[in-house]
Structure formats: C-alpha cells, structure tokens
Amino acid sequence: MSGAGIVDGKRIQSNPVYVGTDMDNDPMRFYGSGHQNTTNNVLNLDLIYNAKLNMITQGLNFKIKGSYNSTYSHTKKWENWQTYPTYKPYMLEDGTVVLETSGDKWKPAFAEGTDVWRDWYAEISLDYARKFGSHDITALLLYNQSKYYYPWPYQEIPRGYVGLVGRVTYNYLSRYLFDFNVGYNGSENFAPDKRYGFFPATSIGWIVTEEEWMKNQNVLSYLKFRYSYGIVGNDYMGGRRFLYLSPEYTIHNGKYVGYGGGQHGYNFGTSNTVFVRGATEDTSGNPDVTWETSTKQNIGVDLRTFGDRLNINLDFFKENRKDILINNDAFITAPSALVASPINYGKVNNKGMEIVLNWTDRVGNFSYTIAPNFSFSRNKVIEMAEIRQKYDYLYRTGHRVNQPFGYEFFAFYQKGKTEDAYKAKYGVDMPTQLGQANLGDGDAVYVDLNGDGAITAEDQHAIGFPDYPEMTFSLNVNMSYKNFDLTMLWNGATNVGRGLYWPYNPQFGQFHDQGLIRWVYENSWTPETAETATLPRLTIANEVNNTPMSSVWMMDASYLRLRNLEIGYTINKVPFLASTSSMRIYANGTNLLTFSAFKGNDPENVGGGWQNTIRYPMMKVYNIGFRINF
C-alpha cells in the first residue's frame, strides 16, 4: 500500500498531484512527533485460608479467598505533531520543476496524566465430599463478591457484582451420574426489583461400560452418554450502564440561541424557526430492563475403542437466547425528542455439533497421535423488533446474527451491451442506477429486486456469510521416531465472509487522496480487462455507484492455516557435558502457511465485523533453541 514517505528529509505523499490524504493510520504519521514515558506500578495480592471441619462432619471444608489488584500509571508526553505539507509543482527560472511546500508545524506540547485501576474479589465457601458405600456425594455452597474501579482516576462509579452458587453431585457405582447447579447473581445494571437472577442447571450421565453385562466384551473400553440442561444469564449492556435510570436534564448555558454548537431547547412557531433554551432529556430510562437469559441443552457421547487407541467425543447442542437487549425503534408510534431506551426483546436460536477424534498408536520405534476436530454452529434471529418492511427480503429476522446486507451485483457497465444483457435475463429494462448521471463503462450495475425501475435502499438483501465461521476444523499431529519428534497444528474455517470495505472500497469512489493497493489496481475494470475484471473501474470523480456494500465486495474468507510446527531432536547423553541427563534441540514456527482466496489483510485477523478494516496482520514467528536437563 502506498503511503507517506521521506524525500530529502521531508514528508511526501504517494501522489504529488493530489493532496489532502488522510494518513491517520499510516505509521509515518508518527515520524518525529515526540516521545512518551510511562511508569506503571503494579500490586497483586492473593490470600487463601482453608480449614477442615471434620469435628462437625467428615468431608466438610471451609475456605476463604481474597484478591486485590492495583495499578498506578503515570505518563509524561511530549508531542510535536506536524501538519502534512501540501505539494505543488513549481518551475524555476532554468526550467527545473520542483515541489513547493506549504504548511506549519504545531508547537511542541507537554501533557501529563495519571491512571489508577483497582479491583478486589472475595469468596467464602463450604464444600462437602463423602462416600457412603456405593454412593458418592459432593456439595458446594459459595458466596462471591467483586468490585472494579475505573481509571482516570475514579471518574466513573465502580462496577460491582455479587453471587451465590450452589452445587450438588451424586454418582452410584461410578455408573449413574447426576449434577445440579444453581446460581443466584446480582448486577448493578438493573433496578432493585430486577437486579437478581436465578439460573439453574442440571446434567445426567450413564457410563454404560460400568454395567455388569458390558464387562465381558472387548470392543468398547469406555462408553458414556450424557445430557445437560441449564439457564445462564448475561448482564452485559454493550458498555452501557444503569439503563433503568433516566439521565439528568441538560441545560444550555451558552450565550447563543439557535441550531448547532450543542444548544438544547425547543422550537416554537409555525416554521420552527424560534428557538428557546431549556432543559432537555436525551434518553428515557427503562426500569424493566433485566437479565438476558440463554437456555442451553447438550447431548453427547464419549467412547474409547481399539484398545484405547481411538477416542471419540461427539456433542450436539442447542441454545435459545431471549430477552436480548435491543433498540425499540419499532415500537415508537409518535414523534419524540427522546431517544428510546433499549428493551429486552430480542431472540436468537443456535444449534450445532462438534466431534473430536484422537488416534494414538505405536509401531516399533515410531509413535504418533492424530487428533482431528470439526464443529458446526448456525444461529438464527427469531425476533429483533424490526419496523415493518415492504418486502420480506428486507427483514433481518430469520437470518444469521450480523448477516451482511447489500445490493445484488449484475455486471460492470458497458454502454448498450449491459442494457441488452439485463433485459434478456430479467425481461425488463435495466433500472436507473445509484449514480446514473455519472454512469460510465466499468461501473457496477445492480439488480432491481422490487421491480420499481430504480436502485434504492429497498433493493438490498442478504449477501454472503457473516464474519464468524459456521464451520471450524483443526488437525493436531504428534510424531516421534527414536530421538526425533515432530508436532504440528493445522486449523481453518469456512462458511465465513468478509466485506472489503475500508481501505479498499473508497478507492472506487474518488481515489485521488488514497494510496492505491496493487491488488485493487490489477483487478479493476478497464477496457482491456472487461471480461476478467472483478472490481469496478477506478476514477478520480466522486462516483457513488461503486462504493455501496454489494456482492461485489463480499468475499469468501475461508482459510486453512499451519498454526504451529516444531521439529526436535533429543540427545540422551551429551558427551561434552557429563553432568547433563539429556539435551533437546528444536526449531519451531507459528503461522507459517495460509491458504485462502481472501484478498484482504488476513481472513482471520480483521476489524469492523464483515466490513473489513485493516489491522496488524498475524506475525510469522521462527524460533531455534535447546533445552538441557541436569
């Protein structure tokens, strides 16, 4: 990617003809900008006290646990931010063309700040474990409380939690298993009458191979069936707190009356031109906001066979989430100056399966373990309080969480040819496009889903996959032959999509102030690449037709990656080190190979959800070392 650089000790942009590049994410932005010193003082304290209460009853234990963590951070910063100079051609008397610069440096500035973090955690518990003949019983009663203090320093109210946990387990002859858990948790985020939630869970298991009638067979060395059911709660409000409270009134104290500048008040008159300052509310509180709950079920089987060489773990799961916090715009029936508070209304279902295999064997001096893993998970939005839509395909409900929506791409425009192709396929004239006035060869042409003859927001529908994979898989391999050993881990994902948004997409709107990415240039439309291009034309005009999210920008982000590889050799006796028992020499690496059709930064390490933004790519790391045992 092109960016800022240094020419004769001066910054220069990648394109000297056009100026004004936003270089906020370019590392050259920080060149010569100053320095910063930060001092951190950290204190961590953990205390644990255990006491056996056998004088009351055998197997009863009492425990107290406490922890305290504190961080004091002091920062001194000297800044010398410089504005980027603009460049324009300037001809000297001898005909030499040079670049004339303009722009001022900011004055150096000094800043000093202090941040303080604190948190503490306390826990008191009673646990009981006892065996009565063929019966094993355990029980636990635990109370915990925590508080977290925010930095800057202590400008926000501390965050606190409190909980009571109970658990009872029982098994008979190590054959029939039963487990019951209950949690009673309190969160500061909710009104007093909504603050506490009750979350039970239970599980049962049957180890079939412990039955007497399974003792004489030699096919299965272990077989267990299990089932679990439970309800869990979530008090996370997306970073928001105390939604049950309405914020304080805002009163504008400025000397100006009118729009802009943060004024607060009311409009009067038939034309709404008379503005009077006054107290206003921004958001209404919702005293009914409460815990989001999730009901989870899991049924699974564990088995070992072929002399314990093959292990299989198979799970099927289902999750029903309800009372998900969402915006309630769909329920606003009249104009209001207030922003409606979120409500517990959303519902999402999720179901899937996971299988884990492990084969371990030895043939002479060669031993190996092969452990593949595969999982599938698909969710569906059941309710999200959408406003009424004219067409069913506009609803997010019924799709996956974070399902991307956009326009359906038809072809890159070629005057006359595209109109004929569209009519031949759909039987109607090509619709008016978003940027019809500036439509030129190489621009994206979209499909008119509602048939009104024009591309509008009502022609957007679900495209591609969300940014989290439906299917993930891995393969772990361990091998050894005599003194040599090898381990490697492959992992991957599929049914996952990424939208190539910033910084790729804007270059097709008006790229004169953007560094150009090579892959973008090579795949953009030109008359010579009309049959093979996968991206629209490049233009310095403000072309709006090519930048909206569409199937042009959705890419398959499936990948297969060699995550880890290590090769080693062990010397049992080192001749020149008589006091050593062994020495191992090894070489390893991480993120060595990646196979993916994704053309962005990294199919796995992206930001901004399905609208992919650039983040620092995963690093390849190589190590060579040795370990000596004495």
pLDDT of residue 96: 74
Q: Say which residue, 319 or 628, is predicted with more confidence.
A: 319
Q: Say which residue, 572 or 615, is predicted with more confidence.
A: 572
Tell me the residue ranges of DSSP E strands in 208-342. 220-234, 250-251, 265-268, 274-277, 279-280, 292-305, 310-326
Confidence band for 525, pLDDT divided at 50, 70 and 90: very high
What mean pLDDT is predicted for residues 115-127?
A: 93
pTM, two decimals, is: 0.79
pLDDT > 50? residue 527: yes
Q: Say which residue, 454 or 508, is predicted with more confidence.
A: 454
User: What digits encode the pLDDT tens for the residues 59-92?
Assistant: 999 999 999 999 888 888 877 655 555 556 666 7
Q: Report the chain's mean pLDDT, rounded to a whole number.
A: 83
Percentage with pLDDT > 90 across the chain: 54
Confidence band for 511, pLDDT divided at 50, 70 and 90: very low
- Nearest 5 degrees, angle CA 66-CA 240-CA 196? 55
Q: Say which residue, 337 or 351, is predicted with more confidence.
A: 351
pLDDT of residue 81: 57
| SS3 label, residue 587 | strand
Percentage with pLDDT > 70 across the chain: 77
Q: Say which residue, 205 or 388, is predicted with more confidence.
A: 205
pLDDT > 90? residue 621: yes
pLDDT of residue 256: 43
Distance from CA of residue 153 to its chain's centroid? 29
| SS3 label, residue 130 | strand
What mean pLDDT is predicted for residues 545-560?
A: 89
User: What digits encode the pLDDT tens for the residues 6-44?
Assistant: 444 444 444 443 334 444 444 555 555 677 888 999 999
Cα Rg for the chain, rounded, in angstroms?
32
User: Is residue 305 a contact partner of residue 360, using CB atoms and an 8 Å limit?
Assistant: no
Q: CA–CA separation, 506 vs 548, rounded Å?
A: 9
Please give the structure tokens belonging to residue 127.
């646990």
pLDDT of residue 553: 87
pLDDT of residue 572: 83
Confidence band for 95, pLDDT divided at 50, 70 and 90: low
pLDDT of residue 543: 67
